[in-house]
Amino acid sequence: MVRLSFDRGTLRIDSAPAALLESLADIVRFDERTGHHRAAAYRYARVLDAARGQAAASLEDEIALGWRRSTQTSPPALRPYQEQAVSAFETFGRRGVIALPTGSGKTRVATAAIARAASSALVLVPTRVLLEQWTAVLRAHFGGPIGAVGDGLKQIEPLTVMTFESAYRSLDRFGDRFEMLVVDEAHHFSGGLRAEALEMCPAPMRLGLTATPPSPGTAGAARLCDLIGPTVFELEIADLAGSALAALDVVRVHVALNGQERAQYRSDIEPFESLRRDVLRNNPDADWLACVRAIARMPGGADVLARMQRAGALAAFPHAKRVVARELLARHRADRTLLFTAIAKDAVTIAEESLIPVITAEVPREERDAILDAFRGRRIRAIVSARVLNEGVDVPDANVAIIVAGALGVREHVQRIGRILRPREGKRATAYELVTMDTVDEARTRARGRRHAAGRSSARHVA
């Protein structure tokens, strides 16, 4: 009798016939340490399928025995595209990624998918804020207690919400309790170490949610497909802006470095550019990262890279951007504005100058909640942030985004714009992108491409 059980984040396979093991040779290994066959836990569905195919009458599946059902009370009502997303997920065997823009109701889609599966489910979230938000949403739609793990909480129930960090630490112990795994902001797992958390969970039903799936054909897309499933449904901002999302105007504001800044910028960037040209001469195919790595290994390379970073920081937040940010804040004083900088230090500079709250990773939860609450209650008019507000934080009804600078490319940009797209009757959102001409800042903006260009676009130059 083939026996499948969960052992410290892995799938333990006992008494498997040779033919079964042979068919799973790419994912199953014999573990001499313990005398069992073993696979990563997330291979459970495939191992189970293979075992059922070969040993239908004699399979003992200890993992499934431990699952409990969730208690459903009131599944959420869905818009047509949300209904399509859930159907697509189900059509693909409840294994896949749903890509929808921020503000278009990913949580609602996942809640419906969980309700329709009526299974135990674990929801993984990147932040403590999302832990609270998800717990509240599940509580509104399901009977019985809702578990939460992370931020000091450790309660496991058939429906549980867990932070990525807690999952990484504890799914080797609890990963087998859930038949369904929902991964919010799933793009985080397209690379990096924390992806090991998903490997430790055998849940056969796996749903990923993201506003920014990795590009098809990339290593990140392949990794996400392996850990969760393929992208089964995708809509972009352009598909929904003006209907399910607010209409959007994108205004690009070009600024220039002043004389002193330009001299400083050139002096800092030139050694890097020079070495980069040398690298490219020897290796024309080297991408940016390869160049940086090659330079890091050169004598004095670390200093060159440090100066290059200083030049990048200057281009991200020169004097002209400070002035424009101030002007835009004044112009939109009656609106609800979010500002985004590349780094926390620049966010604090704007906060001190314009006396608006800043939300960065260091701001404690109580203060962050108080700031968001004051923003909702219109007791403050704007919030500046570096990365924390990129995703996850529920900021209702902001209608102006001032993107002073970005650091993380297309994904970050789409998420930031998504912050102001929550629909409201008659709402028209405006996103300003501040770009420093003839610097790496301009190159970064170009590299972001046109993915977000959903509404009317215009450009303005500031000397």
Partner 1 sequence: MLPADLLLVTSRSDGRAAPRYLTGRDEPWVRVVMDRFDAYVGRTVGDRDSELPARVRAVAREHGVSIRGADGVAHVLGRRYSSRVDASQLPARVRAIAFEEAARDDAFDRDAALARASERLQMGRAEIARVLFADRPERRLIVAPPASWSAGEAIEAYNLALVQGLLLRSERVVVDVREHVRAVVRFAKLSGLLCTYALGPDGTRLEVSGPLSILRHTTKYGHALASFFPAVVATTGFRLEARCLLRGEPVAVSIEASDRIARTHKILKDADSAAERALARDVGRLGTAWALVREADVVNVGARAFFPDFTLRHPDGFVALVEVVGFYTPEYLRSKLEALRAASARPLLVCIDETLACDDGDVAGTVIRFKRRIDAGLLVAAAEHLRAQRGTSGAGQRARMDEPESKDRELAGRLQ
With beta carbons less than 8 A apart as the criterion, state whether 399 and 420 touch: yes
40 or 250: CB nearest partner 1: 40
**25 scored as a contact of partner 1 (CB under 8 A):** no
Among residues 377 and 426, whose Cβ is nearest to partner 1?
377
Q: How far is the CB of 88 from partner 1 (least distance, A)?
A: 31
Instruction: Write out the binding residues for partner 1, residues 333-372 only, by CB under 8 A.
Output: 333-334, 344-345, 348, 351-357, 362, 364, 367, 370
The smaller minimum CB distance to partner 1, of residues 36 and 413, is found at: 36
Long-range contacts of the stretch 43-46 (C-beta < 8 A, 24+): 43/11, 43/202, 44/4, 44/11, 44/202, 44/203, 44/204, 45/95, 45/202, 45/204
Distance between CA atoms of 414 and 127, rounded to whole angstroms?
A: 19
What are residue 242's DSSP bridge partners?
A: none
40 binds partner 1 (CB under 8 A): yes
- Dihedral (C-alpha) 155, 175, 98, 396: value to the nearest 10 degrees? 20
Q: CA 9 → CA 40, 205, 262, 357, 377, distances in Å?
A: 7, 17, 54, 42, 45
Binding status of residue 373 toward partner 1 by CB under 8 A: no
- Nearest CA among 202, 194, 146 for reference residue 175: 202
Decide if 121 contacts 179 (C-beta within 8 A).
yes
d(CA 100, CA 234): 6
Among the residue ranges 79-87, 315-323, 327-335, 403-411, the one whose residues contact partner 1 (CB under 8 A): 327-335
Tell which positions 181-220 bind partner 1, by CB under 8 A. 193, 196, 199
Token code pair at residue 88? 């697509």
For partner 1 (CB under 8 A), the number of binding residues is 43
- Is 83 an interacting residue with respect to partner 1 (CB under 8 A)? no
- 21 near partner 1, judged by CB under 8 A: no
241 touches partner 1 (CB under 8 A)? no
**Residue 231 Ramachandran class (φ > 0 left, ψ -120 to 50 alpha, else beta):** beta
Q: Is 34 in the site for partner 1 (CB under 8 A)?
A: yes
Residue 426 lies near partner 1 (rule: CB under 8 A)? no
> Under a CB-based contact definition with an 8 Å cutoff, are residues 313 and 343 in contact?
yes
284 binds partner 1 (CB under 8 A): no
Contact positions with partner 1 (CB under 8 A) in 291-310 = 302
Residues forming the site for partner 1 (CB under 8 A) = 7-10, 27, 29-31, 33-35, 38-40, 168, 172-173, 193, 196, 199, 302, 329-330, 333-334, 344-345, 348, 351-357, 362, 364, 367, 370, 374, 379-381
